[in-house]
């Protein structure tokens, strides 16, 4: 399983770079001008680099108009030499749709229209098309529509959207029928439908323990901000099991830019190590 670290051009993050896989968002280039210069620095360290549209970040600011910036994706992909670029898609978490004032059917149509437009665009790198949904039947409906347009020819990666806020289902009374706990269920159904016809990427997987199961279900790649989040909360990631532990006062790296950069570098490497451990060393939940 290939893990891509979500990355931006803060001084701390630039100081922490290692030869790894990274993901940046097009929205980040608009939101923070530091990324225009820092993007080249991140590229110089990256083994493989994904450009995501970042509509989730735009949606949290209520900027529905970001959906119309499709032409920006190949331009940024070319300027920063991304290896893979994703079409602009609309996340289907209910609170996100409410924030941008869209119904689910409208979000599907925008995602599909953008996908078709993106497939016809000239691009300097390989393209990723995104399947969206909230309920499993949403994903199946979207996958069938994507299939009509040749999305599973092997030319494109397929990204699974709206999974970054989900958790695995622990089969308790509270979680058994809740879509927010259907991470594994969604990925299983999407991978089964595609049936090895494309490389599959999962967006925003928070816990390294879950990545192992996603690989068994058929996913090939994912991205995570876990190392950044752990560092922000002064936590260290265990390189064996992937769990996070709070650093006590005076323990570990100093709370300076340089100290946080060292902790972030350590956490990124630990996350990669935990994900690459043998299956039996990570519990699934």
pLDDT tens readout for residues 210-232: 998 999 999 999 999 999 999 99
Please write the tens of the pLDDT for every residue from 8-47: 999 999 999 999 999 999 999 999 999 999 999 999 999 9
Q: Is pLDDT above 80 for 176? A: no
For residues 110 and 11, give the distance between their C-alpha atoms in angstroms, rounded to a whole number: 36
Closest alpha carbon to 2 in 166, 144, 128? 128
pLDDT of residue 24: 98
Q: What is the pLDDT of residue 277?
A: 82
Residue whose token pair is 């490389």: 199
Of residues 137, 138, 128, 79, the one with CA closest to residue 108:
138
Instruction: Say how many CA atoms lie within 13 Å of 159 toward its Cβ.
Output: 29
DSSP β-bridge partners for residue 245: 236
pLDDT digits (tens, 9 = 90+) for 85-119: 999 999 999 999 999 999 999 999 999 999 999 99
Over the range 41-61, which residues count as b (16 or more CB within 10 Å of their CB) and which as e?
ebbeebeebbbbbbbbbbbee
What values do phi and psi take at 245, rounded to 5?
-130, 130
Going by their DSSP bridges, the two strands 48-52 and 126-131 should be labelled as unpaired
Q: Which residues contact residue 161 at a Cβ distance below 8 angstroms, ignoring those fewer than 6 apart?
A: 89, 91, 92, 111, 130, 131, 132, 133, 203
Cα distance between residue 200 and residue 109, in whole Å = 22
β-pair type (21-25, 84-86):
unpaired
SS3 189: helix
Q: How far apart are CA 229 and CA 206, in angstroms?
A: 9
The model's confidence at residue 174, banded by pLDDT at 50, 70 and 90, is confident
Beta bridge mates, 129 = 158
Average pLDDT score over residue span 223-246: 93
């Amino acid at each position: 399983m290939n893990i891509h670290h979500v990355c931006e051009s803060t001084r701390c993050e630039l100081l922490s770079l290692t030869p790894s896989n990274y993901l940046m968002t097009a929205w980040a280039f608009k939101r923070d001008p530091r990324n225009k210069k820092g993007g080249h620095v991140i590229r110089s360290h990256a083994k493989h680099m994904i450009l995501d549209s970042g509509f989730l970040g735009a949606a949290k600011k209520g900027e529905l108009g970001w959906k119309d910036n499709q032409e920006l994706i190949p331009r940024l992909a070319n300027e920063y030499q991304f290896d893979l670029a994703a079409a602009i898609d609309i996340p289907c978490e209910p609170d996100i749709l409410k924030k941008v004032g869209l119904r689910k059917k409208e979000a599907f149509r925008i995602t599909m229209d953008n996908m078709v437009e993106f497939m016809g665009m000239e691009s300097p790198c390989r393209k990723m098309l995104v399947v969206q949904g909230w309920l499993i039947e949403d994903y199946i409906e979207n996958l069938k529509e994507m299939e009509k347009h040749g999305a599973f020819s092997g030319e494109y990666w397929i990204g699974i959207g709206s999974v970054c806020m989900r958790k695995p289902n622990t089969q308790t009374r509270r979680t058994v029928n809740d879509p927010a706990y259907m991470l594994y269920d969604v990925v299983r159904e999407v991978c089964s439908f595609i049936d090895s016809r494309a490389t599959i990427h999962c967006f925003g997987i928070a816990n390294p323990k879950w990545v192992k199961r996603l690989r068994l279900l058929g996913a090939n790649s994912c991205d995570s901000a876990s190392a950044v989040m752990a560092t922000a909360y002064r936590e260290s990631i265990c390189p064996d099991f992937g769990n996070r532990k709070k650093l006590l006062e005076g323990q570990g790296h100093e709370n300076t830019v340089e100290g946080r950069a060292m902790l972030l570098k350590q956490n990124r490497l630990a996350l990669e190590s935990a994900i690459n451990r043998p299956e039996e060393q990570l519990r699934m939940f």
